[in-house]
Structure 1
Amino acid sequence: MIKVIAVDDEPVAHDIIRSHAEKIPFISLDATFLSATDALFYIKNERVDLVFLDIAMPDLSGIEFAAMINPGIQVIFTTAYPEYALKGFELAATDYLLKPINFTRFLKACQLAETRLQLPEVKKRDEEQALFVKDGHDWVQIKFSNLVYAKAEDNYVDLHEIDKHTLTRITLTELQTRLPADQFLRVHKSFVISRHKIERIEKHQVIVAGNKIPLSKLYRNQLLQNLEGEL
């Protein structure tokens, strides 16, 4: 049984989700919340497998909420605003339902969540570890497992993956907030690297998947402390 909660500041949305959920035997709607903050406290103490989540809420947006919870919890966004879809999928949302939500579409989203919850943990984790960035007029998915390093270029960042690179308009500091801190480290004012692809640490540079990346004095001690348990 999939344990579900709904978070939406409109009571009528709860009624619709509850009505749909009652028709699906493999999910259990255990709680509904008008406040995203209240839902966060609930998740800390109770098992939750899936969240039906509105985006435009007054205390905490659905985007902010999704970024705070355990990535193993499936998220299905429910909103009247289609322009949020890309951001939702960037956060590895299971699905994106536009209001008013019909039952057929709701059922399909629940079936997708059930499938994802049954995936082996390694595969699920790999699917979730990615972000979308803009490359010209297009949006490109960058998988964290494929990213070697990122280099600042004025108001742009050049993302170097194993087999390609992408130039996107973003600051390196902003990019770092979107990367998992346990996987990527700052080693220079202009460089962030993948810790899992470090081959060698020298006095003034780091070898990352064959690439020579400058290592500044400011970040050297921090890098060594972070890697202390692995070196």
Structure 2
Amino acid sequence: MKKDLAHIRCIFVDDEPIGLSVLLAHASRVPILNVLGSFFSGAEALAFIKNNPVDLIFLDIQMPDLSGLELARILSPSVHIVFTTAHPRYAVEEFDLAATDYLLKPIGLGRFLQTTDRITAQFSKVVNGLKPCDYIFVKTGYDWARIDLDLLLYIEADRNYLTFHTSGRKVLTRMKLAEIFEKLPREAFMQIHKSFVISISKIDKIERHQITLADRVLPLSATFRDDLLTRLG
């Protein structure tokens, strides 16, 4: 069913009442957000999502029963996630989960509006039937190289460098793995190891601790295995 840009269905999850009330107050200033509910625990939110379609979730990271990171790994890739936290050390891990944005508490209205503007732009492309960009450009030395996403097999990280492996070449760029998720369509790519992101459609075989694609064997971390099988299921 086609999304209605006038109503982005969202929920808020935070175990701190004050933090939750601030976010709800901000949301009341954004007519496009259709707030379906707010929850003090990840478990409550998960139960709701299983029975109600949700487009967007504002999700606190540190919660006692089910953390935001744990909940994010369970959710469908179609659900956009904005993490909220008072701890900036979580930034890298949450972007590894391809979150739409990351809000550091205390969250001001201006910063909240920046996030909702970005989300509105993304949903607008879906509503208007625009095709997501099928290529990206990355800087390599003094030049910029085009990477066609339909030819991209996987991305390999080594400290501050990434190597893009396509069916015909390799491209090396100075970039961290967390940064590339800003450019990739999250429904087509996923992380399988601390050093590897793969194109899901290029998978040939999945074994307990490794994945084969295009005759290349890559390690599969237990951290990401369940998420991969859920995505494919």
**Range class of TM-score, shorter chain:** 0.5 to 0.7
Give the paired residue count: 175
User: Of the two, which has the highest radius of gyration?
Assistant: 1
**Dislocated runs of 4+, deviation >6 Å:** 175-178, 187-190
Quote the RMSD (CA, aligned, Å).
3.9
- SS of the residue corresponding to residue 125 of structure 2 reads coil
Aligned to 2:37: 31
What is the SS of the residue equivalent to 1:29? strand
- Whole-angstrom distance in 1 between the partners of 2:206 and 2:29: 53
Aligned residue in 1 for 2:72: 66
Matches for 1:1-231 after TM superposition, within 5 Å = 1-120=7-126, 123=131, 145-148=150-153, 160-162=165-167, 163-164=169-170, 174=193, 183-186=202-205, 192-193=212-213, 208=214, 213=215
- The percent of aligned pairs where both chains have the same amino acid is 36
Q: Deviations over 1:48-88 (max 9, x none)?
A: 11100011112222122112112111111111111221222
Structure 1 CA distance for aligned equivalents of residues 103 and 17 of structure 2: 17
Report the TM-score when normalising by structure 2.
0.60
Q: Which protein is richer in helix relative to its size?
A: 1
Task: Return the alpha-carbon distance in structure 1 between the equivalents of residues 68 and 149 of structure 2.
Answer: 23
- Does structure 1 retain, via aligned residues, the 8 Å contact 2:82–2:101? yes
After superposing the two structures, state which structure 1 stretch, 180-189 or 41-50, moved more: 180-189
From the superposition, tell whether residues 57 and 74 of structure 1 become closer, same or farther in structure 2 (CA, over 3 Å).
Answer: same
Return the alpha-carbon distance in structure 2 between the equivalents of residues 52 and 181 of structure 1: 26
TM-score relative to the length of structure 1: 0.61
CA distance in 1, matches of 2:107, 2:154: 41
Distance 1:93-1:190 versus aligned 2 partners, 3 A rule:
closer
1:106 deviates by 0.3
The unaligned stretches of length 5 or more in structure 2 are 1-6, 136-146, 157-162, 177-191, 218-233
Name structure 1 gaps, 5 residues minimum. Answer: 128-141, 152-157, 194-207, 216-231
- Contact 1:4–1:48 (CA under 8 A) maintained in structure 2: yes
Highest RCO, 1 vs 2 (Cα 8 Å, sep ≥ 6): 2
SS at match of 2:90: helix
- Structure 1 position 123, deviation (Å): 4.8
